Structures are given as structure tokens and as C-alpha cells.
Amino acid sequence: MPASRTATRIDSRTLSLSNLDKVLWPSDGYTKGDLIEYYRSVAAYALPHLRGRPLTLQRFPDGIEGPTFFEKRLPRGIPDWIERVTVPTPSGSQRETTFVVCNDEPTLVYCANLASVVLHIWTSRLPALEEPDFVIFDLDPGERCSLRTLATVTLALRELLADVGLSCLVKTTGGFGLHLVLPLHAGYSYDTAKIFAEIVARQGAARLGADVTLERTLAKRPQNAVYLDYVQVGLGKTIVTPYSVRARDRAPVSTPLHWSEVQALARRRGRVRPADEFAKHTIRTMPKRLQREGDLWGGRAWKKQRLEAAIAKAQRLWS
């Protein structure tokens, strides 16, 4: 049976949207049409974080309970007007990969129409793809780690960075953990950013003891601790972009937070699971939150910083 299609005009582009009533979240009844509507409603906030970055699409053509695949290469049949960039593969071979670059709302809607639920971005932008514009720390709680411990560790890392003169931003991953991000001025290599991230992570682990682990092997990690992942810093490595939907029940969204919200979580009692707390930010609630709060990572909040003075101070304080 042929797919049902609807023609939609966005800016100067006409898109043919298909199967808008296809259910992608069986437990909640959310459809592909709901996914597209969500991304359109948050486009003004999401696009500044997407522009200029190679994009990997995580597609769920049969819904979140069906098979999924990551699409780095340009999807077949993609319109000529969609921006793209061709780069060598991260392995260093001569082969190249052409990525989508989502610079506008029509491109965002086109990707959503492919059942691209989750949007993964590089940590650098065109034209300087070899220079990260932020350092990322991925805080991943173990199965028995409480929300309070996760929040406490996140605040301690914020304080650690403040000790060397740096400020950072925080968001939910949309799943179990938190992302802590340090915006950078242009000109730093991935090697420099990764070395600095490792220095911070090792100092954090030393300070926080049993609440933090740097163990990369999942089976060996203590399940009541936070895994502090600093190895996501690297050319071609990706993170879930702010305001991306996740393929979980309730359709949660990766959500920038106020630091006061993290502080409130650190005071929470009981065995609250991080995923349960963060699942309150969904495709239904996020548009209203953005109308109320705006983009917490936008404008002056995205404070680009230099590392030289921080590294020198860290050497004095942490050696």
C-alpha cells in the first residue's frame, strides 16, 4: 500500500511528508506527525546548536521498539538544497563521509520525516571542524546511583572548574545522565581539549572518591557511582544535541537546566532514579518550558573561554 503523503511549505521549500499518523512511541501513542510538530515548535531554539555541525541521524522507521540505525552518510534521495559537508573518516583512511548539516527549519523537518528521533552533533563547526568549540563531560549514573549523588557530583565538577576560572553549562541527556559543557574560544585542537578534560576528570575522581568512577568497562563499574566520561572529546565524536528527543517512553528531551535546578536535585531525599526525574521534560512539556525560560544555552550564557590560564592555575592547585 503506498505511503500517504502531505505537501508542506516551510520558508521557500516544499516538503513531502509521509505517514504522519505512524505511531513511533507505542506506549504513549505519539506519531511521526507529533515528532515533526515538536521539532518545528522548538526549531528557533534547536537550530543555533545544530548549525554548521555534521549531523548523525538515529532513525526509528518502525518506532522506538523496532530496529534502529545510525545514519552518518547522506540519506538517499535527499534534496539538493540541504547543506552537507564531506570529510575524511575519523579512522584517517582516504575514504570520505558526507554528512547532513542542519542549518534551517526545512532541513530539520526533512530529517524528522525520516523518523530521525535522535540528533547527534559533532563538537566542532564549519569551517573549523578540527577545532572543538566546547569540551563535554558525560556523567552517566550506574543502575543503583541516586539522583542526589548524580547532582552532587555534577555540582562538584562545576566547582572544580570554577576553581581554575572556568564556567560551564549543564543539560540532561534525555536518558539517565547529565552533560556538562565548557564552551571554548576558537583555536584549540581536539588533543588539547581532550588532555584538559582528562586532567579535570582525574582531579574530580580524586576529590569525590567512591561517588565517581573512570572505569570504561561497564561490567567493572560500581553501580552506585557516576561514570565520568571525558573520552567523548575527539574529532568525529558526537553528543545528543540540546532539545533532541530520545527513543524512550514518554518521549523525553535533552534539556538545558538552570544550575538552581541541579542544586535542588542535590537536596532530594529517597531513591529517585535520574531517568524518572528527567523524563518530565518531554515533547509535550518542552515547548512551554522554552516559552517560559528561553534557551538556557543561548546568547550570553554560551560564554567562550580560553584554557591557558586555567591550565596554569590547575598545575599550581592540583599538582
Largest Cα–Cα distance in the chain? Answer: 69
What pLDDT, on the 0 to 100 scale, is given for residue 162?
A: 97
Same domain, 187 and 207: yes
Ramachandran class of 127: left when φ > 0, alpha when ψ lies in -120 to 50, beta otherwise: alpha
pLDDT tens for 34-61 read 999 999 999 999 999 999 999 999 999 9
In a domain, residue 129? The reply is no
Over range 175-179, report the average pLDDT.
Answer: 95
Sign of torsion over alpha carbons 22, 28, 33, 35: negative
In a shared domain, residues 295 and 186? yes
Q: Last residue of some domain: 98, 122, 146?
A: 122
CATH number for the domain including 83?
A: 3.90.920.10
Residue 276 has pLDDT above 90, yes or no: no
Q: Are 319 and 164 in contact (CB under 8 A)?
A: no
Expressed as residue numbers, the domain containing 179 is 134-318
Q: Are residues 41 and 163 in the same domain?
A: no
Does 301 lie in the same domain as 216? yes
Out of 71, 95, 122, pick the residue that ends a domain.
Answer: 122
pLDDT of residue 272: 77
Whether residue 311 sits in one domain with residue 242: yes
Query: Do 91 and 200 sit in the same domain of this protein?
Result: no
Q: How confident is the model at residue 94 (pLDDT cuts 50, 70, 90)?
A: low
Domain co-membership, 19 together with 167: no
**22-26, 90-94, 133-137, 150-154 — which is least confidently predicted?**
90-94
User: Are residues 156 and 223 part of one domain?
Assistant: yes
- Helix H, strand E, coil C: the string for 280-312 is CCECCCHHHHHHHHCCCCCHHHCCCECCHHHHH
Same domain? For 142 and 231 the reply is yes
Whether residue 243 sits in one domain with residue 173:
yes
Residue 296 has pLDDT above 60, yes or no: yes
Q: State whether 141 and 284 are in the same domain.
A: yes
Cell numbers of 184, please? 571554548
pLDDT at 4 over 90: no
User: How many structural domains does the chain have?
Assistant: 2
Is there a domain that residue 246 lies in? yes
